[in-house]
Each structure stands twice: as C-alpha cells, then as structure tokens.
Amino acid sequence: MFGLGTGVDAEAAVASWRTGCTHGSAGACNLIGETFLLGKNVTPDPARAAQYLEAACAYGDPGGCTTLGQMYQRGYGVPQDDARGRDLIVSACAKGWQAACNSLP
C-alpha cells in the first residue's frame, strides 16, 4: 500500500481500491483512476483511468467528474468531446468543487 512506514506496493493498493470501487466507494474509484492517469507506481493507462473516474463521478465524486471532464475536453484516454467534458465539469462545479468552477471560462 502507500502508507507511512511501509514500502510501495502498487499492486496491493490497486487491488484494495478496486474492491472499494466495486463496492461503491467514490473515493476508491477516484484514487485508482488518478493512479492510472498519472502513472503513480504503475504504467500510465489513460483509458483505464477514465473507466475508474467515470465510476467515481457516477458515485458522486466531483473531483473524479472534473478530471474526467478535462480528459474528454482533451481527448485523453477517451474520445474527444467538448460538450461531455463541459457537462461533467459544470456538474462538479454545481456540487461546490471549486477546482471545477475555476476551470470554466
């Protein structure tokens, strides 16, 4: 896991977060999505990241919605779709996620 006093065990962390995500934890879905998006101790996989961020967003995580929206706007790991990206970011802003609001024109 990624804990204090422990070594990095990306496989264990991903497995744990996957279980949490499967059971409806928006935070776990967001963590695994960000891990694959940024390549934190794993091979970067934007398409896989988008799948987990989609779940995070569906479970109500505004950070996941914002990141996924930006991915749609850029066509990174998902087909480029400005309208879908904006909708996701607007929904996150409506939930009070300031980073989403700040990214709107």
Alpha carbon distance 70, 50 (integer Å): 11
What's the pTM value of the predicted model, to 2 decimals?
0.88
Q: Say which CATH number the domain at 39 has.
A: 1.25.40.10
Condensed to tens digits (0 to 9), the pLDDT of residues 42-101 reads: 999 999 999 999 999 999 999 999 999 999 999 999 999 999 999 999 999 999 999 999
Our count of domains for the chain comes to 1
Q: What is the arithmetic mean of pLDDT over 11-39?
A: 93
Q: In which band, very low, low, confident or very high, does the pLDDT at 9 lie, cut at 50, 70 and 90?
A: confident
5 within some domain? no
> 1-20 burial, b for 16+ CB within 10 Å, e for fewer?
eeeeeeeeeeeebbebbeeb
Q: Can you give the residue range of the structural domain that contains 80?
A: 10-103
Tokens describing residue 27: 């935070």
